[in-house]
A and B are shown apart, each in its own frame.
Chain A
Amino acid sequence: DSGVTQTPKHLITATGQRVTLRCSPRSGDLSVYWYQQSLDQGLQFLIHYYNGEERAKGNILERFSAQQFPDLHSELNLSSLELGDSALYFCASSETGGNYGYTFGSGTRLTVV
């Protein structure tokens, strides 16, 4: 157990739907990062939150949004889902700067049918 908890582990939904992925960071970590892993794109950085505030955006689609709550858990919202959104979504956390690396959760496997 890495200390980063992601739920659900698996999600199957239809095109056009909206889903929410949840992440609880490791105790004491203030930063949360979201990544998308697909066969063709590899690991893509989506967004970074630090202590409730957005710090950086990567290759995140406008249909996707995220937030980090006062208790530091984070949610990634994916809407108007398309077949191409099927992927493994990882959450990772770190202490302030992440210079010692990130701790990853076990991921949420999203399948859009």
Chain B
Amino acid sequence: AQTVTQSQPEMSVQEAETVTLSCTYDTSESNYYLFWYKQPPSRQMILVIRQEAYKQQNATENRFSVNFQKAAKSFSLKISDSQLGDTAMYFCAFMTSGGGADGLTFGKGTHLIIQP
């Protein structure tokens, strides 16, 4: 079974700073997908960014980018120019490439607080 570990329960940074959230995972699969989801106080789960394991290029979505290190099984999320609206729980998630029948496996989450 796959496991996803987020070692930072909570982080706090000042507005406009850059912050990196860590995620490691354990799998014996060679092809899979990784995701970061954001859960703001509204509790809605919002997809932030997605990475395909067979692609070496790190995914980027505007201010959000990832550092994907396949050999190290690491998948960190970098948020540049952080904004107050980035305050949320952030979940790292893993899915096998076999159609995702077993669903996404989530980490425990990191509570990110952006201070004004």
Interface residue ranges, A against B (CB under 8 Å):
2, 31, 33, 35, 42-43, 45, 48, 50, 55-56, 58, 88, 90, 92, 94, 96-104, 106-107
Contacts and interface: CB of A to CB of B under 8 A. Distances in A.
A90 B43 CA distance: 10
Interface residues of B, number: 25
Nearest to A109: B43
A96 B99 contact: yes
Contact of A43 (B33, B46, B91, B95): B91
A106 B2 CA distance: 26
A88 B91 contact: no
Nearest to A102: B104
A94 B93 CA distance: 15
B103 A45 contact: yes
B103 to A, nearest CB: 4
Contact of A107 (B43, B46, B91, B102): B43
A45 B109 contact: no
A43 B100 contact: no
Contacts of B52: 99
Give the dominant DSSP class at A's interface. Answer: strand
Given A100-B50, A107-B43, A56 B103 contact: yes
B101 A56 contact: yes
Contacts of B102: 45, 48, 56, 58
A55 B106 contact: no
B35 interface: yes
Contact of B47 (A31, A90, A101): A101
A38 to B, nearest CB: 11
Nearest to A90: B45
Interface string B1-45: 000000000000000000000000000000001010100001111
A113 B113 CA distance: 32
B30 to A, nearest CB: 15
Contact of A101 (B50, B101, B105, B108): B50
